[in-house]
Structure 1
């Protein structure tokens, strides 16, 4: 099975639960919309859109938005939820972020959320998003930010145990390097997003024995043992941790 097949299989399992998961909360999409500051005239594209959480939230603020994803089950949820919300200016496309089926400079705004840590070659989709974006258009990347260097290997190992489609969380510096040549960064902000460990593993259908192994690693970290990179903590008798979400908005030169 190649990596794209692994991604499809993973998100096929997640599709029904994904739209209701905490990462879909309005507080996060509202924050994103404020930061993008769309004019209402943009032809927008959401890449690796999943259930089109950002696309559906952004639709009232742009001329139109197309949501592209390779997982049919995730797109089907986006289509259903957009219809329930009576969104008329949203379109859906099955496709691969590494080879976008659009002409160069076709969009005023391109956005992707929580996708880069699933790409096995992040530079390819980044270059494709840049290609389809008009000059002076905005590229919005909202993704997890890597922990300190000495804990990155363990952090990624646990992420991959939980979800085999995970590849590697990029650092702030790695994201900046992709943007630096052809973009002027307009925004670069990190938000801490609290995550319930058990719900996080249930979303991906992580096998019970693997869940137990991850829980044991977190408990060891909490007790002062080997660090996981997650900095877990207890809240209401539940193990929690904070994901670091890095928002970058670049204007294409």
Structure 2
């Protein structure tokens, strides 16, 4: 079993490096891609003017700012300096605090928040029980937790199909730091219970993962997203991979553009 500290160090290097840089470059596209889930997520958050909110893995901050329009105060934390620079630029004069912090290990205060929320930001913890214990400590007694996380690989062909089409040597694992790290609802409930949360509810939601207005638009963004994978191929293999990708994108083009099926869990607890 991998050492949690080694996993944490790898996550910090990735998110405060290439992964964070990528999110900064493609922020609008990434956010548009999962917009089908915004309404349900914000309704579950349901922040009010007296609520102090901690947004974990806030990224470029679009939904952090949406929450801030109703909440009393919002703090967004992330491992990436670069995405937080973008979030601060987007915030303008809004009363939101963005800071670099590791939700798993950093001192986030005690009883400091009424709500801890995360929009696809909690699946990469090296030690989920330790991480959520730290987040529970930051919540006041009775405070609420709201998470959006991906369901299984089988329920999310948008990622599996693209990676297989491009010839990825492996798919993200179902456990550990991964997009699918909280994809098992029973495991998620067990982790949160072990961390001291109660009234855990895991609800399914389905929607589309939008990739672009048309095949050219989608392919252009996906080439940037997967540049490292494509860069490891020779010229002929790269051309064949992109040809397969464009064929798969064309098969998923509809009236709203290129979109694949996707599925998430909306997790709430206190």
The answer to whether residue 266 in structure 2 is matched with residue 247 in structure 1 is: yes
Q: Compute the displacement of 1:25 (Å).
A: 6.7
What stretches of structure 2 of length at least 5 have no aligned partner? 1-8, 212-217
Q: How has the CA–CA distance of structure 1 residues 3 and 70 changed in structure 2, closer, same or farther, with 3 Å as cutoff? A: closer
Q: Which residue of 2 aligns with 1:228?
A: none
Count residues with an aligned counterpart.
233
Q: How has the CA–CA distance of structure 1 residues 113 and 175 changed in structure 2, closer, same or farther, with 3 Å as cutoff? A: same
For 1:2 and 1:194, locate their aligned partners in 2 and report how far apart those are by CA, in whole Å. 27
Q: Verify the 8 A CA contact 2:23 2:59 in the aligned structure 1.
A: no
Q: Verify the 8 A CA contact 2:51 2:114 in the aligned structure 1.
A: yes
Q: Which residue of 1 aligns with 2:134?
A: 128
The correspondence for 1:235, drawn from 253, 256, 261, is 253
Q: How does 1:146-161 map to 2 (within 5 A)?
A: 146-148=152-154
Q: Once structures 1 and 2 are overlaid, which stretch shifts more, 2-11 or 128-137?
A: 2-11
Q: Which residue of 2 aligns with 1:204?
A: 225
Give CA-to-partner distance per residue, 1:146-178, whole Å, 9 cap, x none: 1459x9xx78x8689699x96250322222222
Q: Which residue of 2 aligns with 1:179?
A: 192
The correspondence for 1:167, drawn from 178, 186, 191, is 178
Q: How has the CA–CA distance of structure 1 residues 240 and 74 changed in structure 2, closer, same or farther, with 3 Å as cutoff? A: same
Q: How has the CA–CA distance of structure 1 residues 80 and 249 changed in structure 2, closer, same or farther, with 3 Å as cutoff? A: same
What TM-score results when the alignment is normalised by the length of structure 2?
Answer: 0.71
Q: CA RMSD in A?
A: 3.7
Q: What SS does structure 1 have at the residue aligned with 2:26?
A: helix
Q: How has the CA–CA distance of structure 1 residues 60 and 168 changed in structure 2, closer, same or farther, with 3 Å as cutoff? A: closer
Q: Verify the 8 A CA contact 1:42 1:107 in the aligned structure 2.
A: yes
Q: Which residue of 2 aligns with 1:30?
A: 39
Q: Verify the 8 A CA contact 1:160 1:166 in the aligned structure 2.
A: no
Q: Verify the 8 A CA contact 2:74 2:96 in the aligned structure 1.
A: yes
Q: How does 1:1-253 map to 2 (within 5 A)?
A: 2-9=10-17, 10-23=19-32, 28-83=37-92, 86-87=93-94, 89-148=95-154, 167=178, 169=180, 170-180=183-193, 182-185=197-200, 188-196=203-211, 198=219, 201-202=222-223, 204-207=225-228, 208=230, 213=241, 216=244, 234-236=252-254, 240-251=259-270
Q: Verify the 8 A CA contact 1:48 1:68 in the aligned structure 2.
A: yes
Q: Verify the 8 A CA contact 1:13 1:205 in the aligned structure 2.
A: no
Q: Compute the displacement of 1:138 (Å).
A: 0.8
Give CA-to-partner distance per residue, 1:121-141, whole Å, 9 cap, x none: 333322221121111111111
Q: Once structures 1 and 2 are overlaid, which stretch shifts more, 61-70 or 234-243?
A: 234-243
